[in-house]
Amino acid sequence: MEAELNLRKIKFAAFDLDGTLIDDRGELIGDVHGAVNMLRQRGIIPIIVTGRTYDSFFSLDLDRSLLALFHHDVLLNDGNVICHHEKKTFEVKRYVDAALCQQIITSLDGKAEFVMESHGKHVASSKSAKLKYCMLYTFPREKIQVGHKREFNFECVTKLFILPKEKVDLAHQLKNCHCDVADAQFLNAQVISPKGICKADMLEHHLFDCFGERDFDRVIAFGNGHNDRLMLKKAKWGLAVQDSHPSAIELSDVHLQEPISDYLFKVLQSFETPHVINEKGGI
């Protein structure tokens, strides 16, 4: 199936971060700076939409000149936290229920370790939990405090990370609770987050709140992960980058076979001419 990729109709470009703009060492993949700059010059507003938390995003220490090319609002925690990357202020849309967090920690006391994200900061239940979390998420150790569970602020939880001593089926146990449970893939870790947080929905709400944009008809999106798949599906054009998760590729319009910057340079240098692309393929 072929379709016209006409960037003259695009106003917004949504970018996942890890695996899309940066590699697993936190370094830019290709000439991202130049490619995003070309988007801005053509009136397209780039927006970062990432699963990273407040602390983990700023720990990357991305070049300020690069960040300045993006809209000042960065969507963190899959869009649940809206952060102004210049002022370093943020707004949380939804919290995990405080009573539920207390219930989970109490029921697993002695059977699991925990890391809680509250108001952009992290607290771990032990040094071991801290080290495991940092290993899982390549997170700077100095950004996590270690404290007893009584020091956890249950009222403002945006994510609760659970590291059980043996596998626990929390998804089944919490199926009737108002939260989402996801596997962290390693160490049997699981993540509890507010119900219904999804990059696609949160970006759609943000575009309406900030720009009055009512749908994704003027949005092009780039991503590589399972949590990007619906954003790629809903966008006017969803592009899965190299080495993407199978679900992201399946729901995208295009699966790139080249670095994202190479693709954008090729398209933008002949901006006035619509490009014919093969679905799930290249130009």
Lowest pLDDT segment from 3-12, 43-52, 222-231, 256-265: 3-12
Query: Mean pLDDT, to the nearest integer, of 81-87?
Result: 97
**CA angle (191 as vertex; 190, 193 as ends), nearest 5:** 155
Q: For the segment 114-156, what is each residue's pLDDT rounded down to a tens digit? A: 999 988 889 999 999 999 999 888 888 998 999 866 666 778 8
Q: What is the predicted pLDDT for the residue at 149?
A: 63
Q: Are 116 and 123 within 8 A, CB to CB?
A: yes
Q: What is the predicted pLDDT for the residue at 151?
A: 62
Domains plus CATH for the chain? 2-93+198-278 (3.40.50.1000), 98-194 (3.30.1240.10)
Lowest pLDDT segment from 48-57, 89-98, 212-221, 266-275: 266-275
Q: For the segment 181-190, what is each residue's pLDDT rounded down to a tens digit? A: 988 867 788 9
Query: Mean pLDDT, to the nearest integer, of 3-25?
Result: 87
Q: How many CA atoms lie within 13 A of 88 on its CB side?
A: 10
Q: Is 255 helix (H, G, I), strand (E, B) or coil?
A: strand
- Tell me which amino acid residue 283 is: I
From residue 114, give the alpha-carbon distance in Å to each of 96, 97, 189, 193.
Answer: 15, 16, 9, 14
Q: What is the predicted pLDDT for the residue at 276?
A: 44
Q: For the segment 254-283, what is each residue's pLDDT rounded down to a tens digit? A: 999 999 999 888 887 765 544 444 444 444
d(CA 95, CA 194): 6
Q: What is the predicted pLDDT for the residue at 273?
A: 46
Q: What is the predicted pLDDT for the residue at 272?
A: 52
Q: Are 170 and 119 within 8 A, CB to CB?
A: no
Q: What is the predicted pLDDT for the residue at 277?
A: 45
Q: Are 100 and 179 within 8 A, CB to CB?
A: yes
Q: What is the mean pLDDT of the chain?
A: 89
Query: Mean pLDDT, to the nearest integer, of 225-254?
Result: 96
Q: What is the predicted pLDDT for the residue at 239?
A: 96
Buried b or exposed e, range 220-239, using 16+ CB within 10 angstroms:
bbbbbbebbbbbbbbbbbbb
Q: Pick the more confident residue, 238 or 149.
A: 238
Q: What is the predicted pLDDT for the residue at 150?
A: 63
Q: What is the predicted pLDDT for the residue at 278?
A: 47
Q: For the segment 40-52, what is each residue's pLDDT rounded down to a tens digit? A: 999 999 999 999 9
Buried b or exposed e, range 101-127, using 16+ CB within 10 angstroms:
beebbeebeeebbbbbbbebebbbbee
Instruction: Give the single-character DSSP code of 125.
Output: S
pLDDT band at residue 169 under the 50/70/90 scheme? confident
